Amino acid sequence: MDAPRKTYRPWNPDYYRQQTHSPQSKLPPGDLVFFLLDVIDQLDLAAIYALYEDQLRGAPPFDPRLMTCLWLYAYAVGVFSSRKVATACERNLAFLAIVGDDRPDFRTISDFRKIHLDALADLFHQVLKLAHEAGLVQLGAWATDGSKFPGNASRHKAMSYGYMKKEEERLKAEIAELLKQQLQTDEAEDAALGSRRGDELPEELRFREERLAKILQAKARLEEQAKVAAAAERQRRAEAEAEWTRAGKKRPGKEPKPVSEVPADKAQTNFTDPELKIMPQSNKSFEYSGNAQVAVDDVCQIIVACDVVLETNDKQQAVPMAKQALANLEAAGIARPVDAQGQVQKIASLSDTGYFSAEAVSELEALGFDPHMATERHKHHTPLGAVQAASLPSQATAKDKMRSKLRTACGRAVYGLRKGVVEPVFGQIKGVRGFRRFSMRGLEKIRAEWRLVCLTHNLLKIWRYHYVPSMN
């Protein structure tokens, strides 16, 4: 006898479309929601379905295709709150085209994203494959860049290392005083408590001990971060010293101070999301943020790799992003283009000066890329130097070689693509769709949410290039 199979609430979007006042009769042909309803059947949702297959008790859940399509459409049109999604399911025709008459409440919608966030994010590879099959991924060049997105952490729930030390001493003194008072009044409390044990902690003492424990944990995090930063600074100084030695130059300026592994008094950590770091924003403010990275193919602005890191600068991100992009291409079954001789063509890797380092250039070349990385910043609307031929002395540094490469006509033309490839992607995500802040907490969840944002960006590109009816 076959084992009983899981049943789900019925879902028939074709029926909803054909009603008298159906979304299909009111929305324009080729609307985004109809595109996603067609795409959802092409996606493998086995990882999501698997969670429900063994749950044979209780009311039937909503069909995972419905819930997945709902969240993909919500992220595509800039609705990131489960309560707002639930409201849209009652008032918005496009959302009604997905859910029909059986509408999930906000808690069901929220729980689905919370439970299946990783599985939703893992659809990135399948969407990337769809983009390639639609001819939108050419792999002639891609550009890498990053942007700061504030996290779900309040600046008012943070504390500096110096203040932590003061609070630690104050709380220890108050706890000691409370314990002393408790010992002095022990007999009186025993008489008042009667049959109770009498060793329950007073509320004010429990509160202070819990606060002290949190502060000690936060101090330990800052101290560990300081040790990691000190090790990185020692390595940076050693590399700089080696570079000066190779160039036959002396270190400029005064002798630097010894590297300290003790956090500065102004170093901060956050209590609501301890993994995030304070980062400068484009509006000159400071927020607890993640540094969101993307690698974007140059033809149709398809994102081939995405990640969120906690480093404020992008210096160490060029190679990891390139490796992740290659892994994503492999997972999506996308082969790199080859020339007439059957040799794998090099992909031009474009990035601004924040990504440049000699090590990054060397590793990218070893991976089969043709890196074009700015070596210094140029002010807007300032004329560049004349185009120069690449003629360098044998002892030229990696920075000299890259600078010379970008001054040639070919190098300047290739690098000139960067700004028009990757920067509009962040503009579309932030300005058009309104995604300006992570709603999840914890680095892994933030990374999954960013992949969800990026895969819906790719879905929008497929829709706009191949599904929207011609306006001619």
Per-residue pLDDT at 35 exceeds 90: yes
For the residues 230-238, what does the mean pLDDT come to?
81
Task: Supply 374's token pair.
Answer: 């700015």
User: What's the gap between Cα 72 and its chain centre?
Assistant: 17
Counting residues of the chain whose pLDDT is more than 70, the rounded percentage is: 85
A 10 A CB-CB count for 457 gives 24
pLDDT on residue 54 = 78
Of 168, 38, 13, which is closest to residue 100 (Cα–Cα)?
13
Q: Give the least confident one: 23-32, 56-65, 207-216, 382-391.
A: 382-391
CA separation (Å) from 348 to 247, 370, 411?
28, 5, 10
pLDDT on residue 211 = 72
3-state secondary structure 65-112: HHHHHHHHHHHHCCCCCHHHHHHHHHHCHHHHHHHCCCCCCHHHHHHH
Report the mean per-residue pLDDT for the chain: 83
**Spans of all domains in the chain:** 13-122, 137-153+276-451, 155-270
3-state secondary structure 425-442: HHHHHHHHCCCCCCCCCC
Q: What is the pLDDT of residues 66-97, one digit of tens each?
A: 999 999 999 999 999 999 999 999 989 999 99
For residues 328 and 124, is the Cβ–Cβ distance under 8 A?
Answer: yes
For residues 459 and 127, is the Cβ–Cβ distance under 8 A?
Answer: yes
A 10 A CB-CB count for 354 gives 16
**Using CA atoms, how far apart are residues 427 and 168, in angstroms rounded to an integer?**
44
For residues 349 and 318, is the Cβ–Cβ distance under 8 A?
Answer: yes
Residue carrying the six token digits 């080859």: 338
Q: What is the pLDDT of residues 170-186, one digit of tens each?
A: 777 767 776 677 666 66
Q: Give the least confident one: 54-63, 169-178, 242-251, 379-388.
A: 379-388
Comparing 192 with 250, the larger pLDDT belongs to 250
A 10 A CB-CB count for 187 gives 8
The helix-helix angle for 186-193 and 161-184 (nearest 10°) equals 70
**Using CA atoms, how far apart are residues 151 and 312, in angstroms rounded to an integer?**
14
**Which distant-in-sequence residues (6+ apart) come within 8 Å of 20 by Cβ?**
none
pLDDT on residue 193 = 53
pLDDT on residue 389 = 54
For the residues 248-256, what does the mean pLDDT come to?
75
Per-residue pLDDT at 133 exceeds 80: yes
CA separation (Å) from 121 to 45, 71, 193?
11, 11, 56
pLDDT on residue 334 = 93
Longest dimension (CA), the chain: 95
**Most confident region among 17-21, 201-205, 250-254, 391-395 by mean pLDDT:** 250-254
Q: In which element (H, E) is residue 178 found?
A: helix 161-184
In terms of phi and psi (left: phi > 0; alpha: psi -120 to 50; beta: otherwise), the region of 148 is beta
**Using CA atoms, how far apart are residues 354 and 348, in angstroms rounded to an integer?**
17
**Which distant-in-sequence residues (6+ apart) come within 8 Å of 328 by Cβ?**
124, 125, 128, 304, 305
pTM of the complete model: 0.79
Per-residue pLDDT at 119 exceeds 90: yes
Q: In which element (H, E) is residue 209 found?
A: helix 203-247
CA separation (Å) from 5 to 49, 102, 119, 201, 424?
12, 22, 22, 52, 47
Per-residue pLDDT at 189 exceeds 60: no
